[in-house]
Chain A
Amino acid sequence: MQLSRLLGLQVIDAGSHPVGTVVDIRLTIASDPEENPPTPRVVGLVISPRTKSSFLGYERSGATAPAMLAAIARWRHRGTFLAAWEDVARIGSEQVKLRSGYTRYSAVLASAD
């Protein structure tokens, strides 16, 4: 499956209530990405309840400056969360369905601080 077919899909919960849109896919690489990185594995989906796009990842970093830009990004992307792959029940051609009782994790990239 191409990544581009996954980005932008609507996400619903187990009760078919919309929770947002897939704006990115979080990956993990077992060793240093700059030295012969092994195959990345999907960790989860970054889901935004309000936007269908990312603002250059600003909302996923700990950046607080420039203050106005940071405030706008935080407001625009408020509620963005990471859903673990284990909590994904089904990938459809139009929607992604999460499992009942899924957990919302922080979308902030720890290494981006």
Chain B
Amino acid sequence: MSELSALPHRGHLLDARLHLLDRQLLDHEDDPVGIVDDLELSGIEVDTDINPGAEAPQVTGLLSGQVLATRIFGGVPPRSHLQEIPWSVVACVAVVVKLKPTDVTIEVEWVERWLRDRIIKHIPGGRHAAE
């Protein structure tokens, strides 16, 4: 592997799976709002020849949602189970991915809220769990 030459490039390199997938998403107040479960790539037409010199695809958004079943049983979660967070609201990519203040409502934690409101709070002491 090391005897191969490096691909000339500009900018900072990162690998999608290595540096983005499964990273925690934090909102602008550093509160966790989800996990990066997938990425949306633009500019790829499946089963269509790519013209030489065609523009390279871009990452247009982060996808986050309910992926527990596919993590356990395999496969790819249906697109309808994932919420797209536009790349334009990404503030920082590091150990975690931080988002800018945005009007986009991130609804990926509804299962956690449902569990909290329907089950956890009925357990003695559960109303104070967050404290």
**Bound together:** yes
CA distance in complex: A27, B87 (Å): 14
B97-118: CB near A (< 8 Å → 1, else 0) gives: 0001000000000000000000
Q: Contact: B48 with A2, CB < 8 Å?
A: no
Q: Contact: B39 with A28, CB < 8 Å?
A: no
Q: Contact: B92 with A24, CB < 8 Å?
A: no
Knowing A3-B16, A28-B9, the reply to whether A81 touches B39 (Cβ < 8 A) is no
CB of A11 within 8 A of chain B? no
* 12 contacts across the A-B interface (CB closer than 8 A): A1-B42, A2-B39, A2-B79, A3-B38, A3-B41, A7-B17, A26-B13, A26-B15, A28-B9, A40-B58, A54-B18, A90-B47
CA distance in complex: A104, B21 (Å): 25
Knowing A3-B39, A23-B17, A28-B11, the reply to whether A40 touches B87 (Cβ < 8 A) is yes
Partner of B4, one of A44, A56, A59, A106: A106
Q: Contact: B52 with A92, CB < 8 Å?
A: no
Interface of A is mostly: mixed
CB of A108 within 8 A of chain B? yes
Q: Nearest CB to that of B88 among chain A residues?
A: A39
B interface, CB within 8 angstroms of A:
1-2, 4-7, 9-18, 21, 38-42, 44-50, 52-53, 56-60, 63, 76-77, 79, 82, 87-88, 90-94, 100
Q: Nearest CB to that of B49 among chain A residues?
A: A90
CA distance in complex: A54, B79 (Å): 24
Chain A interface size band reads 35 or more
Partner of A44, one of B7, B44, B76: B7
Report A-chain residues with C-beta under 8 Å of the C-beta of B6. Answer: 105-106, 108, 110
CB of A25 within 8 A of chain B? yes
Q: Contact: A33 with B92, CB < 8 Å?
A: yes
- Between A4, A30, A32, A56, the greatest number of chain B beta carbons within 10 A of the residue's beta carbon is seen for A4
A2-33 interface (Cβ within 8 A of B): 2-7, 23-33
CB of A88 within 8 A of chain B? yes
Knowing A5-B76, A89-B50, the reply to whether A33 touches B15 (Cβ < 8 A) is no
Partner of B1, one of A41, A56, A57, A77: A77
Q: Contact: B15 with A2, CB < 8 Å?
A: no
Q: Contact: A46 with B15, CB < 8 Å?
A: yes
